[in-house]
């Protein structure tokens, strides 16, 4: 693509691409109030469309071409800076005054344009603008790619690539203006290809908003709102298809939880429930799974490990959590746990059978006086007193 395209046509297409993109961002913003930054993206694209309009005005009024050139340069540079702020906010979903530091780029750039009188030379003016645009686009690409660690959405990679590609096209345009003999693409053609990038960026931003909404819905479907841990549905989806020997399921229940609610109020009870859930979750290994099973009951899946005995691990967790004194509104509340555990003795495909055994063991622990762990055995149910590690070893031997 070394033969240049018609400049007037490319300018018109460039203007329309930004205008359509601005409308797309406005529409998505109206349908997705939870995403910040979409309004800034729309403003950024609109200013860029306005900049193309000013360039066209300058071509139609040769006696005022320098004035329109400076105005177009300023509008376009500010548009890209606002666009970068919008991208950073859409990507991170955070507002920060530091994000507005990118506005120094168009301010310094416009000052240099006027001070060095580059506005009088079309090639220098265009090269400076493309340099600023490339810098800002690369900043936007970096922000999107960096935030992938905070929010792993597949579209982040392609959106970063689209932004970086648009920046590279700007650099190619600079080469075309300053070194036309070695340029691999004419500046006008690079400008035209950037139009495709504008559409791609708009599409991928909308895809990011869509993927985020889907991830939020999935999170709401899988997370218990009160405790912040997985819910019953998510727990069963997390279980492996086949349980290995040594895998274990633990059913846990807060002792006398109704009494806590009746004595201290339901809000205090909710705080205790959430605190117990978080403490249980914090003490588990990375591959273990915990969920709120219902009411004040929790279910834990302990994966088989050659290092940890599941019953001893469960008793350690139970003892530590039961020893915590919860403080809510200057009230000190003790919440002990009863647990039942069932350990898989052979490979099975029925996790619910192991869950039923753990539930039977839990009720046995309650019947034996609460505040203890009971290990399910096919021969009998062996209640284990709190802290009795030797008894646990005997029960599972």
The encoded tokens of residue 329 equal: 């509104």
In the chain, CATH 3.30.70.270 sits at: 232-396
Tokens of 49: 């469309």
Side-chain half-sphere exposure of 131, counting CA atoms within 13 A: 16
Per-residue pLDDT at 388: 46
* 90/37 Cα distance (integer angstroms): 5
The answer to whether 332 and 326 are in contact (CB under 8 A) is yes
Q: Among 1.10.12, 1.10.3060, 1.20.120, 1.20.1070, name the CATH number for the domain at 7-222.
A: 1.20.1070
CA 352-391-388 angle, 5° bins: 100
- Please give the pLDDT value at position 396: 41
Tokens standing for residue 101: 């530091």
Dihedrals phi, psi of 293, to nearest 5 degrees: -85, -25
Q: In this predicted structure, what is the pLDDT of residue 205?
A: 93
Q: Where in the chain is the domain with CATH 1.20.1070?
A: 7-222
**Residue-level pLDDT at 326:** 85
The predicted structure's pLDDT at residue 397: 38
Task: Confirm if 230 and 280 have CB atoms less than 8 A apart.
Answer: no
- pLDDT value of residue 31: 82
Question: SS3 of 251, please?
Answer: strand
What pLDDT, on the 0 to 100 scale, is given for residue 138?
96
Per-residue pLDDT of the chain in tens (397 residues, 90 and over written 9): 455 566 777 778 878 888 888 898 888 888 877 678 899 999 999 999 898 888 877 777 777 778 888 888 999 999 999 999 999 999 998 888 889 999 999 999 989 888 888 777 878 988 999 999 999 999 999 999 999 888 889 999 999 999 999 999 999 999 988 888 888 888 888 888 888 898 899 999 999 999 998 988 888 889 988 999 999 999 988 888 888 888 999 999 999 999 988 888 889 899 999 999 999 999 999 899 999 998 999 999 999 887 778 889 999 999 998 888 888 777 888 889 999 999 988 776 678 888 999 999 999 999 889 999 999 876 554 544 444 444 444 444 3
Q: What is the per-residue pLDDT for 4?
A: 59
Q: Which fold has domain 232-396?
A: Alpha-Beta Plaits (3.30.70)
Q: Where are the alpha helices (DSSP H) in the chain?
A: 7-31, 38-60, 65-92, 104-115, 122-146, 155-178, 187-222, 232-238, 257-264, 266-283, 310-322, 351-367, 389-396
């Amino acid at each position: 693509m070394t033969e240049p395209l018609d400049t007037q046509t490319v300018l018109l297409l460039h203007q329309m691409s930004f205008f359509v993109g601005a409308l797309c961002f406005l529409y998505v913003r109206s349908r997705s109030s939870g995403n910040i930054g979409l309004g800034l993206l729309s403003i950024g694209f609109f200013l860029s469309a306005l900049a193309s309009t000013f360039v066209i005005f300058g071509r139609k009024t040769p006696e005022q071409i320098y004035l329109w050139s400076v105005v177009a340069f300023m509008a376009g540079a500010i548009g890209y800076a606002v666009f970068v702020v919008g991208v950073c906010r859409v990507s991170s979903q955070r507002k920060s005054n530091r994000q507005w530091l990118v506005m120094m780029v168009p301010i310094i750039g416009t000052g240099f344009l006027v001070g060095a009188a580059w506005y009088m030379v079309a090639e220098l003016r265009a090269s400076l603008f493309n340099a600023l645009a490339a810098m800002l686009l690369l900043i936007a690409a970096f922000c999107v790619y960096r935030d992938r660690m905070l929010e792993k959405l597949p579209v982040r990679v392609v959106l970063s690539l689209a932004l970086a590609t648009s920046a590279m096209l700007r650099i190619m345009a600079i080469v075309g203006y300053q070194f036309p003999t070695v340029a691999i693409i004419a500046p006008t053609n690079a400008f035209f290809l950037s139009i495709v990038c504008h559409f791609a960026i708009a599409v991928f931003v909308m895809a990011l908003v869509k993927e985020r909404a889907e991830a939020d819905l999935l999170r709401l479907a899988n997370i218990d709102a009160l405790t912040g841990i997985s819910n019953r549905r998510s727990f069963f989806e997390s279980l492996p298809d086949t349980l290995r020997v040594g895998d274990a399921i633990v059913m846990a229940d807060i002792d006398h939880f109704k009494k806590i609610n009746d004595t201290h109020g339901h809000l205090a009870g909710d705080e205790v429930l959430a605190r117990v859930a978080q403490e249980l979750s914090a003490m588990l290994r990375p591959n273990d799974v915990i969920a709120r099973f219902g009411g004040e009951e929790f279910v834990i899946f302990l994966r088989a490990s050659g290092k940890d005995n599941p019953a001893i691990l469960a008793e350690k967790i139970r003892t530590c959590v039961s020893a915590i004194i919860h403080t809510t509104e200057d009230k000190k509340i003790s919440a002990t746990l009863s647990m039942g555990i069932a350990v898989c003795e052979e490979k099975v495909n029925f996790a619910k059978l192991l869950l039923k055994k753990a539930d039977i063991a839990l009720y046995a622990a309650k019947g034996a006086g609460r505040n203890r762990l009971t290990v399910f055995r096919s021969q009998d149910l062996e209640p284990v007193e709190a802290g009795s590690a030797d008894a646990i070893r005997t029960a599972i031997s």
